[in-house]
Amino acid sequence: MTEQQRASLAGPAGPDVRPEQAVEAVRAWIEAHVPAPWREAAERGGPREVRAVRTPEEYRSWYPVFGASGLVAPTWNVEHGGLGWKRPVAAAVERLLRPYHLPRLNPLGLNLVAPALYAHGRPEQRDRFLGPIARGEEVWCQLFSEPGSGSDLASLSTRAELDGDTWVVTGQKVWTTWADRADFGVLLARTDPDLPKHQGISYLLIEMRQPGIEVRPLPHIGGETEFFEVFFDGARVPDSHRIGEAGNGWRVAQATLSGERQMVSGSGSGGVDRIGGVSASHLVRLARRRTEAGLPGGWDHPATRERIVWLWCEERTRAWTNQRIRDRLAGNLPPGPESSIGKVHGSELNQRIQEMAADLLGGDAVAWPGSASTPGEYWDGMPAEVRGLLRSRANTIEGGTTEVNKNVIAERVLGLPKDFDPYRGRPWRELPRS
């Protein structure tokens, strides 16, 4: 870390900092570095008011200030872009920051890559990658799923063969978020096909902007493009960018998969509150809007209120449960298999919230201006609630299907026997594949 970066930290660093000491320092940092209109909006009405006065472009332009503060990942070591704080100190500061709505812009790097680096990376690898991740200088994607290896990820067939001190990669990945903008990706590749499928896999950090990599968009039902196919034809990875031992990538990947499940576990997860759609609090506003318009089934209807309050209570419970899981992150430990519990409940809860939002729109959820005139682009003018409903249908698939995560809960949390696998222990090259 340079002296200039060290001087821009938001407060005293180290494990001995007290919560009140950190809060006071960060309060001063907010006054000095957060633009006045954002501060005033936050103090007036929290995140909703901040979003009303600040564009995403303005926030991205300002983000390097946040990245240099150490507050993006305050429990990380100072040399890795953090402040070295203990979890209670970081939690106290996070409560202070919440009204100012300062989201992390590199969630895949922070939540998927960093746990693997801390758990399995070499010191020089952590020194190279963690700082740029915390500061948002290098964007990451995850290259795990394949057309024939989704739920059964360990059956993946993308190959990496060692050529001197460089791995040469050939194959295909799919459903890769941010592949179009990523500087690096975490890649699982088959490096020894003669071993059983969970062995012979290596975990590589691949530079995305190089010859031999082609990225193709995959638009989804809401008309947006956030997923991509990635094709590898002779792309290269130096062996120094391998995390863990060659052939031991499945073990390394568990840190990334646990981080992914935690990131998409809903409210309070520390990653994203929901992928697709609105919060339970928004349901209250929609219901009140119906009542004000004189429409049935609004906030004045007892059954509507009961349904919304029940969803709101579940969302709060989800947040509290996720906070307990996040406590495992103290000391930079991966969240563990318990994160699958949050993933299963959080994804299904979000789907029910988005279904309720669409119900409250009534006929507007079925047709909207422009939807009939341009049937090939039906998403033009689509209400945000409908877009959220459509997007949420993927919640029980992405980040590990609900069925897979229930197996994780059964086997790793409850200690139940593993499913019978007639091919267990056989070399990967002998397994039937689609």
- Cβ–Cβ contacts within 10 Å for residue 401, how many? 16
Question: How many CB atoms are closer than 10 A to CB 60?
Answer: 11
Q: Are 238 and 165 in contact (CB under 8 A)?
A: yes
Answer for the pair 214, 170: CB distance below 8 angstroms, yes or no: no
Side-chain half-sphere CA neighbours of 233 within 13 A: 5
* 1 pLDDT higher than 50: no
Q: What is the pLDDT of the chain when averaged over all its residues?
A: 88
Average pLDDT value for residue range 424-432: 89
Residue 197: the pLDDT is 92
With 0-12 / 13-18 / 19 or more C-beta atoms within 10 angstroms meaning exposed / middle / buried, residue 255 is buried
Query: Of the listed 260, 314, 338, 398, which one is catalytic?
Result: 260
Residue with tokens 């472009």: 57
Residue 5 identity (one-letter amino acid): Q
Does the structure show a pLDDT above 70 at 326? no
pLDDT at residue 122, rounded to an integer: 97
- Which one, of 154, 166, 180, lies nearest residue 251 by Cα? 154
CB 138 within 8 A of CB 126: no
Residue 430 annotated in active site: no
Q: What is the pTM of this model?
A: 0.83
pLDDT band at residue 277 using 50, 70 and 90 as cut-offs = confident
DSSP letters for 226-248:
-EEEEEEEEEEEEGGGEESSTTB
Cα(80)–Cα(74) distance, rounded to whole angstroms? 10
- pLDDT at site 3: 44
Quick: pLDDT tens for 329-380. Answer: 544 555 556 667 888 888 999 999 999 999 999 988 888 776 555 555 677 7
Q: What are the pLDDT digits (tens) for 398-419?
A: 877 888 888 888 888 888 998 8
Helix, strand, or coil here: 330?
coil
Q: pLDDT tens digit string along 195-217?
A: 999 999 999 999 999 999 999 99
pLDDT band of residue 38 (cuts 50, 70, 90) is: very high
Q: What per-residue confidence (pLDDT) applies to 337?
A: 61
Query: pLDDT (tens digit, 9 = 90+) per residue, 303-322?
Result: 999 999 999 999 998 888 77
Read off the pLDDT band of 251 (50, 70, 90).
very high
Predicted confidence band of residue 266 (pLDDT cuts 50, 70, 90): very low
| Rounded Cα–Cα distance for residues 60 and 193 (Å) | 43
